Structure 1
Amino acid sequence: MPMDAETRRSLISLQDDAGVLSLYVNADPKQEASQPPWAVRLEHGLKKLVEASDNHTRKLLVKRLDERSLDLERLVRPSSPGRGRALFVTLSDGRDFAVEMQNALTDRIALAPRAHLSPMIGAWAEGSPSGVVLVDGKGLRVVDYRFGIAEDVDDLEFVLDTGEWRRLQGPSKARSVGGGQSGQSSNSQTDLFDYKVAEHLQRFLAAAHTRLSEYVETYGWEFLVVTGEPDLVEATAKHLGKGSVKATVVPSKLVLGNFTAPQVGEAVAGELAEARRRRDDRRIEEFREKPSRKASGAEEVLNALLEKRVEKLYLERDTVWSGQTIAPGTVLAEQVALEDEDQSEAAAQAELGEQMIERAIATDAEVAVLAGNGGLPEGTGGVGAILRW
């Protein structure tokens, strides 16, 4: 299924005392081969996990893997949709969730009482649901864009009834101060007609914010990019930016015309990436400006999480739950010990990051993965929190 807010909530709450198997695959088209490397990593990782499990867990694990053999085959198949793919299975009752997206995901296998979330949290930070509005003289076209996948949502047509309007061609005569005709005016009746059309269009755009507000709520958009004819973009963004929508409005200089939905997504990707960097820069600045209500470093933040004092948890990308320092396909489970010392330490850090994310979510704290132009202050180790008290 495509990733949305409801799926995200389901994954966050997914837990099972017997264990939740979390499988992440990054089907990089550049690495395609007769036997894709991500498929090899998944096979070897699952074999290692089964062999290292105790008898009870092994029986459940083998049973669920047999039941999901087709899902596993689909997960690694090069022709399956999405570059980033994930499958979550509860061992006790076999509930499962499958997710696909165009964003890359970190190859990983995990078995724990809760779903392993850090790769998904990272992907959410980079590709969270956003709306794109294309505005022109015909109305508004609305596109949903999330995790590299763009789909049309609606076309709001601007319909103008001019049946009773008289469109007079040619210039009108201007009157002199004395009442006589002083020649031709530079403003024609056609100009007046066009002005009335423009005025009605502006009213239409102002009223459209109600529908767009509904879409922001329904689709969970974090950003709303407005593209099209510059004067209409300005008018639309002005109305939307007055707090009427719960999304950050991003005016764009792009005029996309008859682009398909995927082309629209590709065109605005750079502007959305910049909007996310600005968002993270604001978060970093907020952290720096609250010296009396912040925790720095993994140990201090974890203690605050245990005390339920954390309001916002900030993690720099590729720090405590790094996808860069841990080898692709690594198995994160208590029963599997990593022989390489560096990999073992990196895995331990990843599991610590996962614990922090889990505790933050359990106490209704905001979790944000940062990819700003700067970063958290030196000495934090890429981990910080703003506290409730």
Structure 2
Amino acid sequence: MNLDDQIKQLENVRKEGSNKVFSMYLNTDPSDPEQQGGEWKIHFKNGLRNFESYLQEDENKEELKNFQQVKKKVEKFVRGNEQNYRRGIILFATADEEIWFAHRVQTRLETEFHWEETPQLDQLKKLRDEFPKSGIILVQQDQVKVVEANMNEIEDTVYYEFDVDTDDWRQFTGPHRADPSMGSGGKSLQQDNFKDRYEANKHRWFKSIAPKLDKRAKDHQWEKVYVVGEPDPTQELKEQMNKPIDDIIQKNMLDHEESKVLEEVFG
């Protein structure tokens, strides 16, 4: 289920009586100056304790029991992921287990806790709008790297390289940095030769890879498309793709870490 479907499902949730919905946005960002000492642990502990104390004072035994069931599951999730925190946690839960949505996210959150009839979705929707499912295409003359991201988190990375032996693009996975225009037989063009060959064939090269990228954009439901690279190859690729390009960033980042690419694209 994609995020839009999950949000729609959560929008339809309404509980009555003692079986309410717990909503949590927890800022665990280690780069936040206010989190240097792991203060989020205190906020988390206090947030749960405040609800429990309120329900104990209210003497609503059934609602207290439901909250304590939710609290137990939430604490287990947080403890179980303590070594793998990113920048925040978004969580929705009910005692009857009809709702359980728990995600670690790579975006900073405002810490909030709610125990109400409906899940509080404002921050989740805002993040969905700010960081939609995107395809980021990093391009050089004979190399293309695609970074797929959702909610500012990397979902997949694929690489394409033009093979002079087969006169076609080949796809591979995993970190890779080949010599320019390295063929499958191991022959590489001399650098002074390559520039001439690129100029003579760039239209055909990018025309042949554009359908592969368009198909991936459709199959993976990209909402936004960004092209990153030097002016000539980025413009050439834009002209060949059917999928509209939302933004072009004229900066060579093909060999940069994916996290740095996301910072450049989303700011």
TM-score, L = length of structure 2? 0.73
Distance (Å, rounded) in 1 between the aligned partners of 2:79 and 2:166: 59
Letter aligned with residue 64 of structure 1: V
Counterpart contact for 1:135–1:233, Cα < 8 Å: yes
Letter aligned with residue 8 of structure 1: I
Deviation at 1:126, TM superposition (A): 2.6
Secondary structure of the 1:132 match is strand
Distance (Å, rounded) in 2 between the aligned partners of 1:156 and 1:143: 12
Map of 1:268 onto structure 2 = 265
Query: After superposition, what is the alpha-carbon deviation per residue over 1:101-136, rounded to whole angstroms, capped at 9, x for unaligned?
Result: 121222111122322101212222332332210112
Counterpart contact for 2:52–2:64, Cα < 8 Å: no
Letter aligned with residue 221 of structure 1: W
Mapped pair 1:105 → 2:109? yes
Counterpart contact for 1:205–1:235, Cα < 8 Å: no
Q: Structure 1 residues 37, 161: closer, same or farther in 2, change over 3 A?
A: same
Mapped pair 1:211 → 2:215? yes
Deviation at 1:151, TM superposition (A): 4.5
User: Which range moved further: 5-14 or 137-146?
Assistant: 5-14
Counterpart contact for 2:206–2:240, Cα < 8 Å: no
Mapped pair 1:259 → 2:233? no
Counterpart contact for 2:141–2:198, Cα < 8 Å: no
Structure exhibiting the larger radius of gyration computed from Cα positions: 1
Distance (Å, rounded) in 2 between the aligned partners of 1:253 and 1:233: 8
Mapped pair 1:55 → 2:98? no
Letter aligned with residue 61 of structure 2: N
Map of 1:122 onto structure 2 = 126
Distance (Å, rounded) in 1 between the aligned partners of 2:164 and 2:14: 55
Secondary structure of the 2:108 match is coil
Q: Structure 1 residues 53, 226: closer, same or farther in 2, change over 3 A?
A: farther
Q: How does 1:275-290 map to 2 (within 5 A)?
A: none
Query: After superposition, what is the alpha-carbon deviation per residue over 1:59-95, rounded to whole angstroms, capped at 9, x for unaligned?
Result: 22223323443124357x4x44221212211223364
Distance (Å, rounded) in 1 between the aligned partners of 2:73 and 2:197: 68
Distance (Å, rounded) in 2 between the aligned partners of 1:122 and 1:154: 28
Distance (Å, rounded) in 1 between the aligned partners of 2:133 and 2:261: 14
Distance (Å, rounded) in 1 between the aligned partners of 2:194 and 2:63: 79
Deviation at 1:192, TM superposition (A): 7.3
Map of 1:155 onto structure 2 = 159
Distance (Å, rounded) in 2 between the aligned partners of 1:87 and 1:53: 26
Q: Structure 1 residues 142, 5: closer, same or farther in 2, change over 3 A?
A: farther
RMSD over aligned CA atoms reads 3.2
Counterpart contact for 1:50–1:62, Cα < 8 Å: no
Distance (Å, rounded) in 2 between the aligned partners of 1:107 and 1:60: 22
Query: Structure 2: any 5+ residue segments left out of the alignment?
Result: 168-192
Map of 1:131 onto structure 2 = 135
Query: After superposition, what is the alpha-carbon deviation per residue over 1:182-218, rounded to whole angstroms, capped at 9, x for unaligned?
Result: xxxxxxx999755543242132244334324325xx2
Counterpart contact for 2:26–2:109, Cα < 8 Å: yes
Identity rate of aligned residues, in percent? 19
Query: Structure 1: any 5+ residue segments left out of the alignment?
Result: 164-188, 271-389
Map of 2:49 onto structure 1 = 44
Map of 1:85 onto structure 2 = 89
Mapped pair 1:11 → 2:14? no
Q: How does 1:353-364 map to 2 (within 5 A)?
A: none
Distance (Å, rounded) in 2 between the aligned partners of 1:193 and 1:107: 55
Letter aligned with residue 22 of structure 1: S
Counterpart contact for 1:86–1:98, Cα < 8 Å: yes
Partner residue of 1:70 out of 73, 76, 79? 76
